[in-house]
Amino acid sequence: MSKNHGRPTDCNTESIQKIAQDIRNGLPRESAARINGISKKTFYNWIDKGRLDIEPYVRFLYAIEVAEHELEQELVTAWISCSTDKVYILDGKEVVRKGDWKAAETFLKRRKPKDYSEQTFINLKLENEAYLSELEKLAKLSEEIIVQMSAGKVSAEVAATVLKALEERRHVIQTVDQAEDIEEIQNKLKGLGH
C-alpha cells in the first residue's frame, strides 16, 4: 500500500533516501516509487532530469543506481558464498551446512535477466523443402500486394510497408538457411547488434 496518497512528494533528501532504501531492500524501481507516493511517470521524469544533470535529480539518479548496484553485489556474494558448503564446529562436532544458492540466483535472473539468465540459441536452419516453400509463399504475397495496389484496394504507402516487411523476412530466411551451424547464426546475430 502506498504510504502517501496526497500531493506528489518533492524530490528531497528524505524521499531520495526512502526510495533508494526500498530498492536496496529488493523492490523494483516502480514499486519503490509507488510505495513512497511517487507515480511511475514522476519517477521516470526524475530519472530523466537526473540524466540532464539537474539537481536534486542527479542525487536521486545516483542514489537509485548505487542502491541497485549494492543489492546486486550482495546477491552475487550470497550466490557465490551459498554455493559452497559451510563447516561449523558445534559441541565439538563438525557440522556441515549445505549451500543453497537458488534463491539468490532466481532473484538475479528475474531482476537482471540479460546479465544472469541463461541465453539459449536455437538452430533455425530450415530444411530445403521448408525453405523453398517459405520463399514461394513470400513471392506470392508480394505479387498479391502489388495486384491489390494496382486495383486501388491498397495504398502505395501500405504496399511499400508490406513489401519491405516481406523482403526483410525473405532475407532472414536466406541468411538462416545459409548458416552452417548454430555458432554461425550466433555470429550473424551479434553482427546485427542482437
**Segment 180-193, tens digit of pLDDT:** 555 565 565 556 55
DSSP 8-class letter at 93: E
Question: What's the maximum distance between 2 C-alpha atoms anywhere in the chain?
Answer: 92
Residue 126 has a pLDDT of 44
Domain that holds residue 167: 128-191
Query: Does 41 reside within a domain?
Result: no
- The pLDDT tens digits of the residues spanning 49-99 come to 999 999 999 999 999 999 999 988 888 887 777 766 677 777 788 777 666
Q: How many residues in the chain?
A: 194
| List of residues 6+ apart from 22 with CB closer than 8 A | 31, 32, 35, 36
Q: Lowest mean pLDDT of 30-44, 115-129, 151-165, name the range.
A: 115-129
Helix ranges, 83-127 (H): 102-111, 113-116
Positive or negative, the Cα torsion across 67, 72, 77, 82? positive
Tell me whether residue 58 is in a domain.
no
Instruction: Indicate whether 63 belongs to any domain.
Output: no
- The answer to whether residues 98 and 138 belong to one domain is no
* Band of pLDDT at residue 39, cut at 50, 70 and 90: very high
What is the spatial distance between Cα 60 and Cα 54, in angstroms, rounded to a whole number? 10
Same domain, yes or no: 181 and 144:
yes
In a domain, 168, yes or no: yes
Verify that 87 and 135 share a domain, yes or no.
no
For residues 107-125, average pLDDT = 64
AA identity, residue 141: L
The residue behind cell 546477491 is: 75
Structural domain ending residue among the three candidates 116, 138, 163: 116
**pLDDT higher than threshold 50 for residue 5:** no
Mean pLDDT of the chain: 75
The model's pTM = 0.47
Contact predicate 138/170, CB 8 Å = yes
What gap in Å lies between CA 156 and CA 165, rounded to an integer? 14
Same domain, 97 and 141: no
Lowest-pLDDT choice from 4-13, 44-53, 108-117, 144-153? 4-13
